[in-house]
Amino acid sequence: MTKLIFILVLPVLLLTVVASAQDGGDFARTMNRKQLSLHKKDKLTHLLFYWHDSVQGRNPTAVRIKEPVSNSTMFGSMTMMDDPLTTDVSRNSTVVGQAQGFYAGAAQGEISYLVVMNFAFKTGKYNGSTIGIIGRDPVLSSKVREMPIIGGSGIFRFARGYVEARTKLSDFKAGVAIVEYNCYVLHY
Ligand SMILES: *[C@@H]1O[C@H](CO)[C@@H](O)[C@H](O)[C@H]1NC(C)=O
Ligand SMILES: *[C@@H]1O[C@H](CO)[C@@H](O)[C@H](O)[C@H]1NC(C)=O
Ligand SMILES: *[C@@H]1O[C@H](CO)[C@@H](O)[C@H](O)[C@H]1NC(C)=O
């Protein structure tokens, strides 16, 4: 009986394998979570650092690549940044990484940015690991802006979570801003 089932089923299996190979369906497979250590409980990590943005001056860390269509809301502007992240409010404190990405004026009624950036860490065990953010940043209307962490790499693989941004200093004329970032990250 077992033999009969085997004889009947085997060709079907073989046909399925051949068919899926032919239609390109063999590029994906289900994996065992253990292979990527995902069977372990995830960790919750809190990170606190300060983001320094400087659009003018001698050593700008950000550059306006598109001027706004409205100077009052900054709508339509785009600024590319490679901003240092430090352990304290002082620009002279230890740099733990860079915020690389852009912020773009995305609202017509107020100053609110679409922020797309990676936090690229470069110290200790975090060296080489990143956290990716895509969020909405209404810089003036909210004291605390929450933005989602949409992924990560290295230590932060499979990351999810959110950040809270609080402005510590903002000098529009001088083109500098310091923002405190509290990050709450779930990762393995
Ligand atoms: C915004 O301000 C700059 C500098 O004062 C000026 O050159 C530019 O024309 C202004 N743009 C708009 C859309 O008003
Ligand atoms: C950073 O250090 C330099 C020289 O060491 C000093 O001139 C500057 O005022 C310091 N900046 C801050 C924000 O503490
Ligand atoms: C971080 O990693 C880079 C590349 O592997 C290395 O060159 C650098 O020295 C490391 N920095 C620290 C502080 O460990």
- Residue 109 is part of a domain; what is its CATH number? 2.40.480.10
The answer on 77 and 8 residing in a single domain is no
pLDDT, tens digit, 9 for 90 and up, residues 9-65? 555 555 555 555 567 779 999 999 999 989 999 999 999 999 999 998 788 999 999
3 pLDDT tier (thresholds 50, 70, 90): low
Domain count, the chain: 2
90 close to ligand 2 (CB < 6 Angstrom): yes
Counting ligand 3 atoms within 8 A of each CB, the residue from 95, 98, 122 with the most, and so the one to mutate, is 122
The answer on 146 and 67 residing in a single domain is yes
pLDDT, tens digit, 9 for 90 and up, residues 159-188? 999 999 999 999 988 999 999 999 999 999
The answer on 97 and 20 residing in a single domain is no
Rounded distance between C-alpha atoms, residue 188 and residue 170, angstroms = 36
The answer on 115 and 25 residing in a single domain is no
169 close to ligand 2 (CB < 6 Angstrom): no
* Percent of all residues in the chain with a pLDDT value above 70, rounded to a whole number: 88
* pLDDT surpassing 90 at residue 2: no
> Cβ(93)–Cβ(50) under 8 Å?
yes
Distance 92 CA to ligand 2 centre (A): 6
The answer on 141 and 183 residing in a single domain is yes
- Residue 158's identity, in one-letter code, is F
71 close to ligand 1 (CB < 6 Angstrom): yes
Strand, helix or coil for residue 69: coil
| Range of the structural domain that residue 1 is part of | 1-30
Among the residue ranges 7-21, 99-113, 133-147, the one predicted with the least confidence is 7-21
Give 48's strand partners. Answer: 182
Distance 169 CA to ligand 2 centre (A): 16
The answer on 45 and 10 residing in a single domain is no
Tell me how far CA of residue 43 lies from CA of 36, 37, 38, in angstroms: 15, 12, 11
The answer on 63 and 44 residing in a single domain is yes
What's residue 41's pLDDT?
A: 93
The answer on 40 and 12 residing in a single domain is no
Mean pLDDT (whole number) for 142-151 = 98
The answer on 164 and 72 residing in a single domain is yes
What's residue 103's pLDDT?
A: 98
Q: Taking CB atoms and a 6 Å cutoff, what residues make up the pocket around ligand 3?
A: 122-123, 127-128
172 close to ligand 1 (CB < 6 Angstrom): no
| 114 burial via Cβ count (<10 Å: 0-12, 13-18, 19+) | middle
The answer on 93 and 80 residing in a single domain is yes
The answer on 146 and 89 residing in a single domain is yes
The answer on 43 and 14 residing in a single domain is no
Among the residue ranges 1-10, 91-100, 143-152, the one predicted with the least confidence is 1-10
Return mean pLDDT, the chain.
Answer: 91
Counting ligand 2 atoms within 8 A of each CB, the residue from 50, 58, 59, 92 with the most, and so the one to mutate, is 92
What's residue 4's pLDDT?
A: 52
Counting ligand 1 atoms within 8 A of each CB, the residue from 56, 66, 71, 111 with the most, and so the one to mutate, is 71
pTM of this prediction?
0.85
